Structure 1
Amino acid sequence: MLSEIHSLPARALLLRNWQDVISYAERLFNFPDIGALNEQDAAKALQEPVGEAGVLFDGDALHEIFRLTKGYPYFLQEWGYQVWNQAESSPITLSVVEKTTRLVVNRLDENFFRVRFNCLTDREKKYLRAMAELGPGPYRSADISTALGVEITALSSVRSGLIKKGMIYSPSHGVMAFTVPLFDEFMRRAMPEVDGEPL
């Protein structure tokens, strides 16, 4: 594996180059207006650290990681690190990314999403699950209230609490969105059944 071939220098490079990205990603969770990286910058963030160790990503692999992460820096770091550990040769190919994705999703579920999920109240979890049920988003507040079977005014305190916790934000009036990609998918895994009880 590449991690064995270049273990010390490559890991040092990855950690050095991505240390700021991890810190930046954590800040993003609380300040969604900063935004994610575009595809070109995401590819650069992935390619430069391994390039110093003489390793390349092929284009399809870079595109797939961007598609999965939506350019969110913390996720780019996680996919890049795990793909590096799984790759056996250069260039790192799409098949390596596909093979690694389940591992990365499991790690995110355990170490990133679950921590935030466990800080939510039952009402907040139901609100987020209703959002997830509506698809990838963004979501009209009216559609969320309809999905929950309550008046939109009854959700103001729940919505406010989720915004304060950095779970959702409002990209425009009357519209809500998750602050990080993939959280809708996590909510469907964490709560497979939609709770039909009133919020």
Structure 2
Amino acid sequence: MLILLLDDLQRIIGDDETMKILSILQNALVELNLQGKNIMFVATGSEDIFYKIQDKLDSAVRIFEPYLIGPLSYDELCEAINVPNKKQNVSFEEDVLKEIYYLSNGIPYYMQILAYSCFEEINADNKVTMTEFKKASVHSLNILAQREFKVLFSKSTTEERKILCLMAESDKTVLSYSYIKDNANLNSEPSALLKNLINKNMIIKPSRGKYKLKNNLFKLYLQNLRINQDTGLINE
């Protein structure tokens, strides 16, 4: 069996140039399939990524049977953390588990980074309380900044950063189009900017006219950057 590992698949369908990758893969995989070889893609991406690819190039995914794994529930997250912890004689306070779930949005990769960082801060009783977690979360955010968030943020324009700042500093998780238009201090209508941010995987559109940041960890990262709402620049 051939196993291919891919991260952030939504980047591939961002434009016509990167879409060529799908066509190249399609030809290679069809040939391998004709030779009787099984193929498995293990990929990360937005929840609707398979259907987005299908819309763009249906024949590229026709030979696949998708098995989609969404965000973990709170109970699933607790089990994923507590089972291996017992083997290490380590325990996480319930408040810590709830905070990991909130920050990770149930996404396994983020959960893994947050939970693993806690092992560096275990107290003398082999426990992780909120005190230890706050220290560990700084390390987790630094890891994610290096691996993902810095590159993601660098692709945004100053006008797009005004929207990101507004979302990061707002007490509301979801903002309406009209609210963004009236409060982001933009020089133009936000339609094109919002579309760009969605395509760059920085925000998502949960329903018509409603927008939110991709996840709570990215929101925390943006808050730490201290973006100037008026200029879209980072405060020194």
Quote the Cα distance in structure 1 between the aligned partners of 2:118 and 2:196: 36
TM-score, L = length of structure 1? 0.71
The residue number in structure 1 matching 2:144 is 108
Deviations 1:95-143 (A, max 9, x none): 3223322222333333331121012223222221222233342111110
Question: Identity across aligned pairs (percent)?
Answer: 25
Say yes or no: does 1:190 pair with 2:225.
yes
Provide structure 2 residue ranges, at least 5 long, that are not aligned to the other structure: 10-42, 50-68
**Counterpart position of 1:133:** 169
Q: What is the one-letter code of the residue matched to 2:135?
A: K
1:31 and 2:47 matched: yes
Residue aligned with 2:211, SS: strand
Q: Distance in 1 between matches of 2:215 and 2:109?
A: 10
SS in 1 for 2:206: strand
Query: In the alignment, is the contact (CA less than 8 A) between 1:136 and 1:184 conserved in 2?
Result: no
State TM-score, norm by structure 2: 0.61
Structure 2 counterpart of 1:71: 106
RMSD of aligned Cα (Å): 3.1
After TM superposition, the structure 1 = structure 2 runs for residues 1-199 of structure 1, keeping only pairs within 5 Å, are 27-28=44-45, 30-31=46-47, 36-87=71-122, 91-94=126-129, 95-149=131-185, 154-196=189-231
d(CA) in 2 for partners of 1:56 and 1:161?
43
Three-state SS of the structure 2 residue aligned to 1:137 is: coil
Uncovered stretches (5+) of structure 1, i.e. residues with no partner: 1-19
1:171–1:184 Cα change, 3 Å: same
Change (3 A) 1:180 1:93: same
**Greater radius of gyration (CA):** 2
Q: Higher relative contact order at CA 8 Å, sep ≥6: structure 1 or structure 2?
A: 1
User: Counting helix residues as a fraction of each chain, which structure ranks higher?
Assistant: 1
Question: Matches of 2:194 and 2:230 in 1, distance apart?
Answer: 18
